């Protein structure tokens, strides 16, 4: 947990540093950005008659049209408003565009695990995940403690069922969810690099596109 908060913090720190304010960090290295684009949340537009997915895509479209090499972009969970296959494909295509054509510094988060597989070793892209400490209790259940720190590499697995337990869902519901999760994980392992992965090959759980001298680093 903590991806969205990390992205917000990084963008706010970049803005603070650029206007000469103190930054809540031990150290900050920054190349000034001409614009900061942030696409977060999941809201529809009642007045505009737009669904959650349409709002997502409209805002992403504005980013792709206006972002330059000197921009800082943060996209959180793009594609969540539609099916997994379409969402993963669109998210991957958007990230690829930003990395290869806009060449801007980008923070990109997603829950689509299949995308990180296709992104390992990709030029200009670094994978990361929010770390967690895992222990197994006497019943064989995993007990997860979220550390809220960014670690290198793709996320090894999802902890949604563990979060559901922390939220207090009934054990009967958790048992069904755990079995379903195992089936989904097994199916995902069998499909490997299937069509959905190939269609959206450039995304990750948390991704930062690296721009050499233009990179932004905040610790």
Measure Cα distances from 37 to 15, 68, 106 in Å.
11, 11, 9
Q: What is the pLDDT of residues 185-204, one digit of tens each?
A: 777 665 544 433 343 333 33
What's residue 51's pLDDT? 86
CA–CA distance, 32 with 89 (Å, rounded to integer): 31
Architecture of the domain whose range is 3-128+192-218: 3-Layer(aba) Sandwich (3.40)
Q: What is the pLDDT of residues 148-173, one digit of tens each?
A: 888 888 887 778 888 888 899 999 99
Q: What is the pLDDT of residues 22-50, one digit of tens each?
A: 998 888 888 899 999 999 887 877 778 88
Candidates 76, 86, 149, 66; CA nearest to 106 is: 76
Q: State residue 179 phi and psi, 5-degree precision.
A: -65, -45
Domain chopping of the chain, boundaries: 3-128+192-218
What's residue 199's pLDDT? 38
pTM of the model: 0.76
Candidates 81, 118, 106; CA nearest to 203 is: 118
| Kind plus residue range of the DSSP H or E element containing 88 | helix 84-97
C-beta separation of 94 from 60 below 8 A: yes
Q: What is the pLDDT of residues 55-105, one digit of tens each?
A: 889 999 999 999 999 999 999 988 888 888 888 899 889 988 888 888 899
Mean pLDDT of all residues in 12-25? 92
- Please give the residue that has the higher pLDDT: either 193 or 143: 143
Bridge partners of residue 105, in order along the sequence: 72
């Amino acid at each position: 947990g903590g991806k969205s908060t990390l992205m917000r913090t990084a963008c706010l720190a970049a803005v603070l540093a650029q206007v000469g304010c103190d930054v809540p960090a031990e150290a900050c290295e920054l190349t000034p950005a001409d614009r900061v684009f942030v696409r977060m949340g999941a809201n529809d537009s009642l007045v505009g008659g737009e669904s959650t997915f349409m709002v997502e895509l409209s805002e992403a479209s504005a980013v792709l049209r206006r972002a330059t090499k000197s921009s800082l972009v943060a996209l959180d969970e793009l594609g969540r408003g539609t099916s997994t296959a379409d969402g993963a494909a669109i998210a991957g295509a958007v990230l690829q565009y930003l990395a290869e054509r806009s060449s801007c510094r980008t923070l990109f988060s997603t829950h689509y695990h299949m995308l990180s597989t296709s992104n390992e070793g990709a030029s200009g892209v670094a994978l990361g995940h929010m770390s967690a400490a895992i222990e197994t209790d006497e019943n064989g259940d995993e007990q997860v403690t979220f550390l809220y720190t960014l670690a290198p590499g793709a996320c090894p697995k999802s902890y949604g069922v563990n979060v559901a337990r922390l939220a207090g869902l009934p054990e009967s519901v958790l048992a069904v969810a755990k079995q379903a999760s195992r089936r989904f994980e097994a199916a995902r392992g069998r499909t490997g690099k299937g069509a959905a992965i190939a269609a959206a090959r450039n995304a990750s759980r948390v991704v930062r596109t690296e721009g050499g001298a233009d990179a932004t680093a905040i610790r």
